[in-house]
Amino acid sequence: MSRMIAVIAAVSISIASMTSAPDARAQDGGWFVSFERQSISQIPRGETSRYVSIGTVETDGFSELRISIGGEFKDSIPKTGTIGAILVPDRQPFPYLLESEGQVLFAIEVQASIGPSSGPLVFSEPVTAKVAFPAYRVYLYNDSNSVANVSVFVYRARY
């Protein structure tokens, strides 16, 4: 009987963790950082004041980043559009210029394009960039007409 209760408890915990709201904090695993399942509504690429800041990637001591983005559309699948992540140096004035003035300086950008045959899942090609600042703030946009659950993956390297 106690084994059955333990199995039911384990299954309940697994289901709860799969269906709970996404964690807005980065999952930092040393060399690898991920921001998973961020729900992003329509935010056009040009409306930088509406971008969603999802966290920071610490890059001090690393020389290169490899960044990928993926998204899943739940309600409706758009015919066109782009989901994107922009990494801006996490030191003033760069976040202020992006959020208040619409200027994107010294940024790293990765995009996944949505096409007629994309289906509910879209993924980018990885973008490789040299590190120039000790940390980058990650912003998301969704230039489509449907809500997307977006994940950003960053691999940090030392060369």
In whole angstroms, give the CA distance from residue 96 to residue 83.
Answer: 22
pLDDT score, position 115: 87
The DSSP H or E segment spanning 10 is helix 2-19
Write out the residue range of the structural domain in which residue 41 sits: 24-157
Contact between 34 and 152 (Cβ < 8 Å): yes
Q: How many domains does the chain have?
A: 1
Whether residue 64 lies inside any domain: the answer is: yes
Whether residue 47 lies inside any domain: the answer is: yes
Whether residue 125 lies inside any domain: the answer is: yes
Q: What is the pLDDT of residues 53-87, one digit of tens each?
A: 999 999 999 999 999 999 999 888 899 999 999 99
CATH of the domain at 131: 2.60.120
Lookup: tokens for 99: 């959020």
pLDDT score, position 17: 32
Contact between 116 and 31 (Cβ < 8 Å): no
Whether residue 128 lies inside any domain: the answer is: yes
Whether residue 4 lies inside any domain: the answer is: no
- The parts of the chain modelled with pLDDT lower than 50 are 1-25
Which bin fits 81, alpha (ψ -120 to 50), beta or left (φ > 0)? left
In whole angstroms, give the CA distance from residue 109 to residue 86.
Answer: 4
